[in-house]
Amino acid sequence: MHDDRVRRISFRQSRRRTAMFVALICAAAPAVAAAQAPIPVLAGMSASASSLRDSIVALARAQIGTRYRHGGATPKRGFDCSGLVQYVMARFELVLPRTARAQAAAGLAVDRDTALLRPGDLLTFASADKAAISHIGIYVGDGHFVHASSVAGHVIESPLNRAPAPKIKIWRGVARVPMLADAVPTIGFLATPER
């Protein structure tokens, strides 16, 4: 008797799950159709890369104001610079390592010419006295980038022509996440920081 009751309950739960799944699929169909509508793109960039870049920028900007926390990698706990980059990219299934240096190494190096920058590119910075990368942010377009600033105490948007912090003076390079790469010339990072 007990086994029959368990089977009936289990069968009902299974039918409910199936019905919920079908309802979710049907509810998502209009959104999927809208997502398949033509998207205006920049010359030389695929529609999917352009749309993905726009989404990355929107999510990065949505984190502005989130507190800075060394080692932080979530909006609830706070972000450090590489935690912010990792969090934003992971939401779009772009898996990056945890540290700024490792994230830069995982990307494709791009010429530092600002005309070649694309939203979603990772901008790397070094201290004036060291060649090692010590800070990273996400380029959002129009000469600005979003980054978790220990000096400001939260995630901010800054102009590229201003140093992110007093000790971080050198714009070291650009790393493009391979999924976001398009036909743009790539080069290696600078061997030594500019003085």
Say what the pTM is: 0.68
Give the CATH fold of the 47-180 domain. endopeptidase fold (from Nostoc punctiforme) (3.90.1720)
Tokens representing 165 are 């912090």
Q: Give the active site residue among 2, 26, 70, 135.
A: 135
Q: Which of 2, 70, 144, 147 is catalytic?
A: 147
CA distances in angstroms from 26 to 13, 14, 16, 31, 34, listed in the order given: 20, 18, 15, 10, 14
To the query of whether residue 144 is one of the catalytic residues in this protein, the response is no
Residue 26 among the catalytic residues: no
2 is catalytic: no
Q: Residues of the chain with pLDDT > 70: what percent?
A: 65
For the stretch 74-132, pLDDT in tens is 999 999 999 999 999 999 999 999 999 999 999 999 888 888 999 999 999 888 777 78
d(CA 69, CA 75): 10
User: Among 26, 81, 144, 154, which one carries the catalytic annotation?
Assistant: 81
